[in-house]
A and B are shown apart, each in its own frame.
Chain A
């Protein structure tokens, strides 16, 4: 088990180094960073001095080494537009994005599993067909459109929910949360639905398909032959077996929820990392873009690792094959 975790961790580090190369090369291909920092009338000597002080004259490999060493300590340099350390900027914005992503994922998991189980067990009911239709909408409508439609309905027409921003937030250490105030909670509803709807329909379809598959297996037939109650068969046996692949997909999707948050955050002017990134792109603020790339990759890789480990907890067969293989 430990060897398995270790091996996966080493693989994860390999992935991060590869991402580091891409992120580093952004600096080299997006023009001369010195030009971004100085004004028009800076002399050649001053430019050379800046170049010297930033170490831009060193060989590429040395620069890359320095970049990786700094990145490993979460130092991503100074933002061109804000003149502040990128790490501080990201940390400041992270709680907003994470809260949004977590709420969206919880919404997607709850809704997706409930609807999926229902439409698998009551396949021919009207409600099951309605769920299927909704899922088609959720999968095919683009996120920004859903966001705009929600704003139009609940903010503009009905005036129930705020159309942008995070509402009032409470500071807990460096973390800011909108979960403790009413306006924060209200502000969270529409962005969460917008961000989570696609995942919800995905999970719903997956749960439905898996559940139908599991219901056909021998051990479900045997469970029925043992006279277990329908409830025990559906929720004790079938659902747990269904959840194994669902955990993987939902876990991996959490990464893309954070990545997709860019669009949702833009639509709702949500003060998270995604919005920061969009602004960075507009202003060619490469340190932020590079750091954001590293950050999202780190989240993806970490989630992958966690999902692999979770897998072995849910499915005992993997536990022993894992320990036997090493």
Chain B
């Protein structure tokens, strides 16, 4: 693909702890194309947010990127010096965090915060930056932006604050937006608005979006492709329709089965037995094997590598027929 914006290859993130090094991300690879929305789902602790933070270079010690490469529009960014990486943040990658109530500095007018960010990255005068800030607020759907620009964060509702956060994330026209659970803290009715806003911005500006969430509804609604993460690895990745309708990985199947639907209400929800392993106790072989109904001997010994299955890619031995045939 020539218009790949973000390319992550075999990313590893480690956290040094008292009980040894914990590997939070272990060999994650994916691409996001221009204008594409990649949804990243998984349980809490699966490594979704850490992946996002690794891309934008905000993994704080004791954590560190231990291996792999991250490329942004062809340039490698995971090994940039701190000052150059700072210039990438906000300018080429915008980030939206989970809680809009705490993402904005309560002591500064929102306009000041936007102007500050614009002037950090673009060579604009105070006045031009302010005009741009008003345009941005209008674009993210804040009514009467020329008046609201002088408001303080506490004068905005949660949904409106998330719009301000989005305006801040896109104020320097980034090539990539990382949205880390952007709707989790919001009312359901507001969630849909924010999702369609992010989708529209991605489409209008050709921005690639990495949408991290544990809400399958948000993924189905917003993303083009979806990556299912489990215990620091990508279990399955593919076009959203295919993964939702026809999940291949047993974990993805379990995840889709656990979504309540308004239609088939008589259907029992399927639970995935057990819980995700702690980072200090990831099982040998496939990390999902203790909870997997289809696990066989090989799953307990050998780690499955991603296999292409049509448009999807799945890391599961069930789909690896070659060694079985050769053994026969």
Contacts and interface: CB of A to CB of B under 8 A. Distances in A.
Contact of A221 (B87, B97, B106, B172): B97
Interface string B74-97: 000000000000111111001101
Contacts of B95: 222, 225-226
A218 B120 contact: no
A67 B155 CA distance: 49
A219 B104 contact: yes
Interface string B118-156: 001100000000000000000000000000000010110
Nearest to B90: A227
B90 A314 contact: no
A315 B105 CA distance: 11
Contacts, number: 80
Interface residues of B, number: 31
B120 A228 contact: yes
Contacts of A227: 86-91, 117, 120-121, 172
Contacts of A223: 105
- Could you tell me the dominant secondary structure of chain A's interface residues? helix
Contact of A218 (B94, B103, B108): B103
Contacts of B46: none
Interface in B101-115: 102-109
B102 A241 contact: no
B58 A228 contact: no
The contact size tier of chain A is 20 to 34
Contacts of A218: 97, 99, 102-103
A228 B117 contact: yes
A225 B117 contact: no
A22 interface: no
B116 interface: yes
B302 to A, nearest CB: 38
B103 A222 contact: yes
Nearest to A241: B107
A180 B38 CA distance: 70
Contacts of B169: 225-226
Contacts of B88: 227
B117 A315 contact: no
Contacts of B120: 226-229, 232
B168 interface: yes
A326 interface: no
A138 to B, nearest CB: 29
A22 to B, nearest CB: 40
B165 interface: yes
A67 to B, nearest CB: 45
A66 interface: no
- Which are the 9 A-B pairs with shortest beta-carbon distances? A227-B90, A227-B89, A225-B95, A218-B102, A226-B90, A222-B103, A316-B152, A219-B105, A226-B117
Interface of A: 217-219, 221-230, 232, 236-237, 240-241, 244, 314-317, 320
29 contacts: A218-B97, A218-B103, A221-B58, A222-B95, A222-B165, A223-B105, A224-B86, A225-B89, A225-B90, A225-B94, A225-B95, A225-B169, A227-B87, A227-B88, A227-B90, A227-B91, A227-B117, A227-B121, A228-B86, A228-B90, A229-B86, A232-B120, A241-B107, A244-B107, A315-B106, A315-B107, A316-B106, A317-B154, A320-B154
